[in-house]
């Protein structure tokens, strides 16, 4: 099992297990403040890293998949489409376990980044595909008339226009990835919710740790939504 630096504050003695009388109180602010640093540490070192790196992998790989489906011959395009559909329709927990037990030499954290990136790339590829299909036919004809190469056509004309309509959906999938990170418990990766449960199991107090995890998820998701909205406005102004 992956342990965060310092393990859990409660297990290392930083936070004492409560007395019987303490477990009868609904909420203890002193306990919440004591476990908050450990919760934040697990968020920044695992949950946030998996989400950010996984989103970057998914965004790049999803675009590649969408372009390949568009430019490859039909048999190959069908093969790429079928593979993407298979990954998208398989639960991410199953994929985590298959890779975890099938590639035992890989670190669990590396498995997490790989699986989340590949899994969400199949969703993002559909978003890209819709954005590419929304580009007016006249734009494609104009690139042909100007004798633009395929690389310049995609880089300068198609992708910039497709991104304007896809950014909100891509941002939604990044937020969804935040909320899917608790599945990492299946491969013994100690993310924030698992940390909350382990502290709760040791101290017999779950309400503070679970509430803190929920608030951190809310703040992170809201911050991501704000950044996506700003990026959307910037792209709309730039093109």
Residue 5 lies in a domain: no
pLDDT at 6 over 50: no
End-to-end alpha carbon distance in the chain: 48
The DSSP string of 144-178 is: HHTT--HHHIIIIIIHHHHHHHHHHHHHHHHHHHH
Tokens of 53: 């790196």
> Which has the minimum average pLDDT: 44-48, 127-131, 153-157?
153-157
* CATH number, domain containing residue 192: 1.10.3720.10
> Which has the minimum average pLDDT: 23-27, 71-75, 107-111, 182-186?
23-27
Residue 169 and residue 123: Cα distance in Å, rounded?
10
Residue 128 lies in a domain: yes
Tokens of 158: 């198609």
Residue 106 lies in a domain: yes
Residue 22: the pLDDT is 56
Rounded mean pLDDT, 21-25: 57
Residue 167: the pLDDT is 83
Res. 21 pLDDT band, cuts 50 70 90: very low
Q: What is the dihedral of CA 108, 110, 116, 122, to 10 degrees?
A: -130
Under 8 Å CB-to-CB from 50, ≥6 apart: which residues?
Answer: 109, 112, 113, 116, 177, 181, 184, 189, 191
pTM of the model: 0.84
Res. 238 pLDDT band, cuts 50 70 90: low
| CA distance readout (Å), 34 to 6, 95, 180 | 14, 36, 26
Handedness of CA 47, 51, 81, 108 (dihedral sign): negative
Q: What φ, ψ does residue 97 adopt, rounded to 5°?
A: -70, -40
pLDDT at 8 over 80: no
Residue 145 burial (CB count, 10 A): 9
pLDDT at 239 over 60: no
Residue 19 lies in a domain: no
Higher-pLDDT residue of 8 and 184 is 184
Residue 168: the pLDDT is 83
Average pLDDT, the chain: 85
Tally of structural domains, the chain? 1
Residue 25 and residue 182: Cα distance in Å, rounded?
27
The DSSP string of 73-132 is: -HHHHHHHHHHHHHHHTS-HHHHHHHHHHH-TTS-HHHHHHHHHHHHHHHHHHHHHHHHH
Q: What distance separates the 2 farthest-apart alpha carbons in the chain?
A: 80
pLDDT tens readout for residues 164-192: 878 888 888 998 998 899 999 999 898 99
pLDDT at 43 over 90: yes
Residue 134: the pLDDT is 84
Residue 14 lies in a domain: no
What's the domain range around 210? 25-238
Residue 9 lies in a domain: no
> Which has the minimum average pLDDT: 34-38, 94-98, 146-150?
146-150
């Amino acid at each position: 099992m992956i342990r965060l630096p310092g393990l859990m504050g409660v297990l290392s003695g930083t936070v004492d297990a409560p007395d019987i009388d303490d477990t009868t109180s609904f909420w203890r602010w002193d306990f919440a403040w004591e476990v908050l640093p450990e919760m934040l540490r697990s968020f920044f070192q695992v949950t946030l890293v998996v989400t950010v790196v996984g989103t970057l992998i998914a965004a790049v790989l999803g675009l590649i998949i969408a372009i390949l489906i568009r430019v490859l011959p039909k048999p190959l395009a069908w093969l790429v489409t079928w593979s993407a559909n298979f990954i998208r329709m398989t639960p991410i927990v199953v994929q985590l376990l298959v890779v975890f037990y099938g590639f035992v030499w890989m670190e669990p954290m590396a498995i997490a980044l790989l699986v989340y990136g590949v899994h969400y790339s199949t969703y993002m590829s559909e978003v890209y595909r819709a954005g590419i299909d929304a580009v007016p036919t006249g734009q494609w004809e104009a690139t042909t008339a100007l004798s633009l190469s395929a690389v310049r056509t995609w880089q300068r004309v198609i992708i910039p226009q497709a991104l304007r309509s896809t950014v909100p959906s891509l941002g939604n999938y990044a937020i969804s990835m935040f909320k899917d990170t608790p599945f990492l418990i299946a491969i013994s990766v100690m993310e924030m919710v698992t940390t909350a449960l382990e502290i709760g199991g040791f101290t017999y107090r779950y309400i503070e740790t679970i509430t803190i995890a929920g608030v951190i998820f809310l703040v992170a998701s809201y911050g991501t939504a704000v950044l996506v909205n700003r990026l959307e406005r910037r792209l709309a102004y730039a093109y």
